[in-house]
Amino acid sequence: MPGTLVCFHAHPDDETIATGGVIAQAAAAGRRVVLVLATRGELGEVPDGFLSPGETLTERRVAELARAADILGVSRVEFLGYHDSGMAGLPTNDEPGSFWAADVEEAAARLAEILKEEDASVLTVYDDNGGYGHPDHIQVHRVGIRAAELAGTPRVYETTMNRDAIARMVRENRDLMADSGLEVPDGAADPDDVQIGVPEEIITTSVDVREFADKKRAALVEHASEVSESSFFLAMPPEVFREAFGTEWFIRRGAPSDLREDSLFDDA
């Protein structure tokens, strides 16, 4: 089946949370999938004693990514070579070498080379707020859009979160989450004021990836330095995870606002 999918992300584990389902789906259909990371997630935080003696967090996150990518069926993993910028407002945002401080044209040229090498049919980036405002995610949007222009990549999708669907899920499962002790991440805890993602009405593409939820969850388990067993993602039962993360949402750039589709590829 023709068509190469390139997924561009900010840090290891982002690829699984946002696009793990479509990656596994594309790979299962025989498509080539390439994963590009802007950074190696150097500024993640782990408890004392988590890393082995002499091991760096960077080494751990790269190894975790390799295992997760293998589970999902990724054919190639590349890093653009920038450093993790940290959360919004931190001094690390502006340090030399950080992705947030990178020249967009220069970074886009690096990504465009990969897109050209792979003759990419589809590129995924983030929406213009990076889903929840993380500087590196916003920069992925800017760099990715420009890279697609330079490479002539025909189809670009902004991965996002469905704000209205999240609100519905929290309302419908409030008692279950309370009984199980699940803590909903900031920005989604109040169903009347969800701060992440975008309104449902501007989402063009909703991909049902429930068939690949087990792979997505298994890949997420590999990112133990960032996603613990007690995290919101992994503390929920597998059947709840399947429903909560079994749809991945996108905005197709340049498409009519009333477009509604269920795949990133026309021949799916």
Domains of the chain: 4-162+198-252 (3.40.50.10320), 164-196 (no CATH)
At residue 201, the pLDDT reads 95
At residue 267, the pLDDT reads 83
At residue 188, the pLDDT reads 59
Exposed e or buried b per residue across 30-68, where buried means at least 16 C-beta atoms within 10 angstroms of its C-beta: ebbbbbbbbbbbbbbeeeeeeeeeeeebbebbbebbeeb
At residue 146, the pLDDT reads 98
pLDDT by residue for the chain (268 residues), tens only, comes to: 579 999 999 999 999 999 999 999 999 999 999 999 999 999 999 988 999 999 999 999 999 999 999 999 999 999 999 999 999 999 999 999 999 999 999 999 999 999 999 999 999 999 999 999 999 999 999 999 999 999 999 999 999 999 988 888 777 766 655 555 566 666 556 767 778 889 999 999 999 999 999 999 999 999 999 998 888 788 888 888 898 899 999 999 999 989 999 999 998 6
Contact 35, 74 (CB under 8 A): yes
Task: Check residue 2 and report its DSSP letter.
Answer: -
What are the helix (H) ranges across the chain?
14-28, 57-72, 104-118, 135-151, 163-172, 174-180, 213-222, 232-235, 238-244
At residue 158, the pLDDT reads 98
- Nearest in space to 217 (alpha carbons), one of 12, 2, 24, 11: 24
C-alpha–C-alpha distance, residues 7 and 216, integer Å? 15
Kindly state the tokens that stand for 58: 């960077």
